[in-house]
């Protein structure tokens, strides 16, 4: 119960006053702790979605909450026209983890990608002239909802209502190096890829494909942009999912889990790409403010102190192994279990992902359906085997039904 309103009244107020951009469940979450959420009626849920890969170290982690509270009492905002000690320290830390040279801070994944696109365009024009502005992305990708990033997102369902799109984007099939090779020309300034496509159903780019792209980009002198907004920040057991393939792009974008739920995005670049933007080229009022930086620093501390990258691998393997047992036991229901660490996709034989996710919710588990036939699991990185057992029991129950 909210202070004054019950859950039905909150839902009504929400529907009447907030733009209908989300198909919301009739649930009002009011509290979170670790991998648990509580609704306004006091019901407890196991969160296997963590926002959508956002609450990386669990809901309201005490260290993150304390860092935000302390910073809120010290200095919440300072204009980017001045130096900010937390921003500088956070940038150095992220650069070391991602093997990059410089960071532009922003407030979301779309903004981080927008920055990457602007760097690529400016870099391309300088490198090969005004015609070098094309950016290649991959079919099924998701890069955000601003006009630039929705154009980079090669899925017509996100694009059609907002046409005409931004010129200069070309789409290539995922995991097809020959097709990409054909598309790269003198006009290409960048190739942009999610190492694991999240929104289209946890679809990994193969390590060979990622290595091949890096080789093609190096040979053709084209920037490689890695969108790690969903799969980065330790989710797959490496700081960046692309590190699994041993590659380092020219630009890496982060957001979602970077500050455990506090809004922040980051566009990191190395080499020439790191020095393309100069004063006046780009900016954002709220970017890298002390509060967000304090939350991100504490999130990184927790990732390290609690060995959560290792946990993502150990628990991810545990979860996958047990899901494979369920796959064998319930023959014909599950066609594939894929992903790395704690980014797992369960492909179903039937188009019943939404129904199963709904039933999981009734059983007290938050998961997510991407499309009609894929269930996506993105739990906090500090979940335990006990959390997994609870999820597996609920999943088995809804499959049996
Ligand atoms: C890979 C990827 N890139 C970019 C975005 C956009 O991030 P945001 O919603 O923070 O703008 C998302 C969001 O789902 C994403 O998964």
Q: What is the pTM of this model?
A: 0.98
- 227 an active-site residue? yes
Instruction: Please state the atom number of ligand 1 nearest to the C-alpha of residue 228.
Output: 1
Question: Are 269 and 240 found together in one domain?
Answer: yes
Residue of 115, 202, 230, 343 with the most ligand 1 atoms within 8 Å of its CB, for mutation: 230
Check pLDDT > 90 for residue 366: yes
Q: Are residues 281 and 332 in the same domain?
A: no
Span from the CA of 3 to the centroid of ligand 1 (angstroms)? 33
Mean pLDDT of 200-205: 97
Q: Given pLDDT bands bounded at 50, 70 and 90, which one contains residue 1?
A: very low
User: For residue 23, what is the DSSP state?
Assistant: -
- The pLDDT of residue 4: 77
Stretch 93-114: mean pLDDT, rounded? 98
Does one domain contain both 82 and 219? Answer: yes
String of b and e for 305-319 (b: at least 16 CB within 10 Å)? Answer: ebebbebbbebbebb
Average pLDDT over the chain, rounded to an integer: 97
Domain around 131: 63-305
pLDDT tens track for 4-28: 789 999 999 999 999 999 999 999 9
In a domain, 152, yes or no: yes
Inform me whether the pLDDT recorded for 192 exceeds 80: yes
Q: Say if residue 163's pLDDT is above 90.
A: yes
Continuous segment of H or E residues that includes residue 311: helix 308-329
Q: From atom 3 of ligand 1, which residue's Cα is the shortest distance away?
A: 143
152 CB less than 6 Å from ligand 1? no
Q: Quote the number of domains for the chain.
A: 2
Q: What average pLDDT does range 142-160 have in this prediction?
A: 98
CATH number of residue 318's parent domain: 3.90.1150.10
Per annotation, catalytic residue among 227, 250, 260, 387: 227
Q: Say if residue 395's pLDDT is above 80.
A: yes
Residue 252 has pLDDT above 70, yes or no: yes
Confidence of residue 176 (pLDDT cuts 50, 70, 90): very high
How far away, in angstroms, is 246 Cα from ligand 1 center? 23
One domain for residues 257 and 269: yes
Q: How confident is the model at residue 3 (pLDDT cuts 50, 70, 90)?
A: low
Of the chain, the percentage scoring pLDDT greater than 90 comes to 98
Find out whether the beta carbon of 227 lies less than 6 Å from any atom of ligand 1. Answer: yes
Q: Residue 133 Cα, ligand 1 centroid: separation in angstroms?
A: 23
In this model, does residue 44 exceed pLDDT 80?
Answer: yes
| Ligand 1 atom with the shortest distance to the CA of 256 | 10
Residues 139 and 222 in one domain: yes
Tens of pLDDT, residue by residue over 286-306, are 999 999 999 999 999 999 999
Residue 1 domain-assigned?
no
CA–CA separation, 202 vs 196, rounded Å?
6
Check 122, 203, 256, 320 and give the catalytic one: 256
pLDDT digit string (tens) for 69-103?
999 999 999 999 999 999 999 999 999 999 999 99
Other beta carbons less than 10 A from residue 338's beta carbon: 16
Of the three residues 305, 330, 351, the one that is the final residue of a domain is: 305
Residue 308 pLDDT > 80: yes
Q: Is 113 in the pocket of ligand 1 (CB under 6 A)?
A: yes
Asked if residue 230 has its Cβ within 6 Å of ligand 1, the reply is yes
Say whether both 264 and 138 belong to one domain.
yes
63 is catalytic: no
Report, as an integer, the average pLDDT of 224-239: 98
Known catalytic residue at 162? no
Token pair, residue 140, equals 């099924």
339 contacts 368 by C-beta, under 8 angstroms:
no
**Cβ within 8 Å of residue 20, ≥6 positions away:** none
Of 256, 272, 305, which closes a domain? 305
Distance 294 CA to ligand 1 centre (A): 22
Where does residue 213 rank: exposed (0-12), middle (13-18), buried (19+ CB within 10 A)? Answer: buried
Averaged over 383-396, what is the pLDDT?
Answer: 98
Question: Which residue in 139, 49, 143 sits closest to 345, CA to CA?
Answer: 49
Distance 112 CA to ligand 1 centre (A): 9
Considering the domain architecture, whether residues 145 and 292 belong to the same structural domain is answered as: yes
């Amino acid at each position: 119960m909210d202070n004054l309103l019950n859950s039905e009244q909150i839902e009504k107020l929400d529907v009447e006053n907030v733009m209908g951009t989300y198909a919301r469940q009739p649930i009002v979450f009011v509290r979170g702790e670790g991998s648990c959420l509580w609704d306004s009626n006091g019901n407890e849920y196991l969160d296997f979605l963590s926002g959508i890969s956002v609450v990386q170290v669990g809901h309201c982690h005490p260290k993150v909450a304390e860092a935000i509270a302390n910073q809120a009492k010290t200095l919440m905002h300072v204009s980017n026209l001045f130096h900010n000690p937390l921003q500088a320290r956070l940038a150095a830390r992220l650069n070391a983890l991602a093997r990059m040279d410089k960071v532009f801070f922003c407030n979301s994944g779309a903004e981080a990608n927008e920055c990457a696109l602007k760097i690529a365009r400016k870099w391309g024009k300088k490198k090969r002239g005004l015609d070098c502005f094309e950016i290649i992305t991959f079919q099924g990708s998701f890069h955000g909802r601003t006009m630039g990033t929705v154009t980079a997102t090669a899925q017509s369902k996100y694009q059609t209502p907002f046409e005409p799109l931004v010129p200069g984007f070309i789409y290539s099939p995922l995991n097809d190096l020959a097709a990409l090779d054909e598309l790269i020309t003198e006009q290409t300034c960048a190739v942009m890829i999610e190492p694991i496509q999240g929104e289209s159903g946890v679809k990994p780019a193969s390590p060979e494909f990622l290595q091949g792209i890096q080789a093609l980009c190096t040979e053709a002198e084209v920037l490689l942009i890695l969108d790690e907004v969903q799969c980065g920040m330790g989710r797959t057991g490496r700081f960046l999912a692309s590190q699994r393939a041993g590659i380092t792009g020219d630009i890496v974008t982060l957001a979602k889990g970077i500050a455990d739920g506090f809004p922040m995005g980051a566009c990191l670049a190395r080499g020439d790409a790191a020095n393309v933007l100069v004063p006046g080229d780009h900016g954002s009022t709220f970017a890298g403010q002390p509060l967000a930086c304090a939350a991100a620093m504490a999130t990184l501390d927790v990732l390290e102190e609690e060995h959560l990258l290792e946990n993502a691998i150990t628990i991810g393997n545990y979860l996958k192994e047990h899901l494979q047992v369920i796959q064998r036991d319930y023959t014909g229901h599950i066609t594939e279990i894929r992903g790395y660490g704690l980014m797992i996709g369960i492909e179903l034989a039937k188009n019943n992902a939404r129904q199963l996710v709904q039933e999981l919710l009734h059983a007290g588990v938050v998961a997510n359906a991407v499309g009609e036939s894929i269930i996506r699991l993105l739990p906090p990185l500090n979940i335990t085997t006990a959390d997994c057992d609870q999820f597996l029991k609920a999943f088995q129950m809804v499959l049996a039904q």
